[in-house]
Amino acid sequence: MVTLRVAIVGSGPAGIYTAEALSKQSGEPVEIDVLERLPTPYGLVRYGVAPDHTSIKSVAGYLRRVLESPGTRFLGGVELGSDVSADELLACYDAVVYCTGAMVDRHLGIPGEDLPGSVAATDFVNWYCGHPDVPADAFTLDAEEVAVIGVGNVAVDVVRVLAKTADELRGTDVPEEVLDRLAASRVRRIHMIGRRGPEHAKFTLKELRELGELTNADVRTLPHEVEGADVEGLSRQIRGNVEVLRSWSARVPQGRPRALDVRFWLRPVEILGATRVEGIRLERTRLVDGRVTGTGEFETVPAGMVLRSVGYRSVPLPGVPFDTGTMTVPNVAGKVTGAERQYVAGWLKRGPTGVIGTNKSDAAETARTLLAEAVPGTAATKLDDLLSARGVTPVTYDDWLAIEAAEADLARALGRGERVKLVGRPALLAACGRAPRDTAGAPS
Ligand SMILES: Cc1cc2nc3c(=O)[nH]c(=O)nc-3n(C[C@H](O)[C@H](O)[C@H](O)COP(=O)(O)OP(=O)(O)OC[C@H]3O[C@@H](n4cnc5c(N)ncnc54)[C@H](O)[C@@H]3O)c2cc1C
Ligand SMILES: NC(=O)c1ccc[n+]([C@@H]2O[C@H](COP(=O)([O-])OP(=O)(O)OC[C@H]3O[C@@H](n4cnc5c(N)ncnc54)[C@H](OP(=O)(O)O)[C@@H]3O)[C@@H](O)[C@H]2O)c1
């Protein structure tokens, strides 16, 4: 019996759920290599999910069992594009599944967006999550007022991390240097700003409620921004959000160290400042035929930092079709349009929305499509030979276990929780006894 050989690019939930679905659905033997540009697996579960949401992070326990299952290998530190090309992967495997997520931020497209102090939530999240691409000293929280643009769950995460005390985050895996910087934070007031009404906010009720329970911040909404919402016929979730937001407008400040103002019907028109961010100019909005429309009434919110949390965006992979309109890989039920033996799953397939679990059914669809047409034995070349000729030695699953152990040791040594993240590729590679790579091999 010939074994089907599949490469999955990206080890986030979509990649790992695809590996699981392929193994479970296939009646024939399948060998799966999960390639990952970082030395560590799990994508946004490790470098996105907020550090204080430990129960959500525990999904990694489920994902690890997939990586540990027979016939599945983890190859960390291998990037599609710089270490290996799509064509080379197709020469090595019967099928390739792209699951590289959505790594970069969407832009507001307003003046001042590039001023120092105007920060993409993607970078800020990467920073407090200890992502290898962002150094631990990337941010100093020396602004007293921060404006967070967007009212989705990422904005809620960012606000919560800014509002909590460093002590409240001590038991999490936040890198030690990040924790020091959070402890030195001068932030006093946070403005979270939605361009539409409370009934249009994208955050979920559970996450919103958590903001109301912060012990270090007084949370407030303005009655005229939350009272008018017509929630008749809307979902329980939305009615719940609006109810909570209305209840906050009646709250009396308790003199807590920080204040959180959740604002609505304000769209950013300019980030202000001569050499760095000093504030944000907002225009009051209303909906006309369902579209956000400016009213010509303006307001300036002072802020030394503007955090833009308006969604993520996928990036094109070299040699792989990409739709620049939807910013996804065009596909039918997971099969890449116009590309033989190539498939896609997760945020790269459907855009940057949905919780971790959404990727499971999505990946199952892609696996079904792949298994219905894949022919084992198509590929002749071995990826290991190609990588070793290029001087690329992948981080193995055992190497990853050594990194995990080092992070647990660090937590013990610091008297913190279960693990404290190591930051930067050199530290991660040193933890598994590996020297950092000097040069990445270039695909032909
Ligand atoms: C800040 C944030 C917090 C979130 N919190 C929650 C939460 O609390 N609960 C919840 O249910 N959902 C949460 N989500 C949503 C959830 O994380 C996503 O639904 C999920 O991670 C998407 O999975 P994915 O595999 O498509 O992408 P990712 O998780 O982004 O995985 C993509 C992987 O591909 C790798 N990769 C990228 N390019 C390459 C390349 N060229 N070569 C090799 N590898 C590559 C990346 O390094 C990454 O590991 C959150 C999302 C964000 C942005
Ligand atoms: N705890 C969790 O479960 C959790 C945590 C984090 C993330 N996630 C998930 O991850 C996904 C991504 O979350 P996200 O918060 O990045 O995205 P999101 O849910 O799409 O929210 C994006 C927010 O940005 C606003 N926005 C977009 N463009 C804007 C502009 N030009 N000006 C002003 N505001 C603008 C949107 O407003 P409009 O609605 O008006 O466009 C919306 O409020 C979501 O599915 C989310 O649920 C889940």
| Residue-wise pLDDT tens digits, 325-368 | 999 999 999 999 999 999 999 999 999 999 999 999 999 999 99
Residue 82 Cα to ligand 1 middle (Å): 20
CB 329 within 8 A of CB 348: yes
Ligand 2 nearest-atom number relative to CA 207: 1
Q: Which ligand is nearest to the CA of 52?
A: 1
Residue with tokens 């940057």: 352
Q: What are 304's two structure tokens? A: 């030394």
The crossing angle, in degrees rounded to 10, of helices 205-212 and 236-249 is 20
pLDDT in tens, 103-162: 999 999 999 999 999 999 999 999 999 999 999 999 999 999 999 999 999 999 999 999
How many percent of the chain have pLDDT more than 70? 98
pLDDT at 1 over 90: no
Q: How far apart are CA 161 and CA 147, in angstroms?
A: 14
Q: Where are the alpha helices (DSSP H) in 35-119?
A: 44-47, 54-57, 59-67, 86-92
CA distance 193 to 146: 11
| Residue 206 Cα: closest atom of ligand 2 | 1
407 touches ligand 2 (CB under 6 Å):
no
The stretch 8-23 carries a mean pLDDT of 98
pLDDT band at 257 (very low <50, low <70, confident <90, very high): very high
* pTM (predicted TM-score): 0.97
What angle do helix axes 121-128 and 153-163 make, rounded to 10 degrees? 50
Q: What is the pLDDT of residues 258-304, one digit of tens each?
A: 999 999 999 999 999 999 999 999 999 999 999 999 999 999 999 99
Pick the atom of ligand 1 nearest to 353's CA: 19
380 confidence band (pLDDT: 50, 70, 90):
confident
Ligand 2 centroid to Cα of residue 155, in Å, is 7
What's the rounded Cα separation, in Å, for the pair 180 and 240?
A: 36
**What are 200-235's pLDDT values in tens digits?**
999 999 999 999 999 999 999 999 999 988 888 999
Residues 413-439 pLDDT 10s? 999 999 999 999 999 999 999 887 744
Q: Is the minimum distance from the CB of 310 to ligand 2 under 6 angstroms?
A: yes
Q: How much is the pLDDT for 382?
A: 94
Q: Which whole-number Å values give the CA distances from 238 to 31, 189, 191, 208, in the listed order?
A: 44, 26, 21, 11
C-alpha 401 – ligand 2 centre gap (Å): 33
Alpha-carbon distance of 369 to 275, in angstroms, equals 53
Contact 129 CB / ligand 2 (< 6 Å): no
The pLDDT value recorded for residue 341 is 98
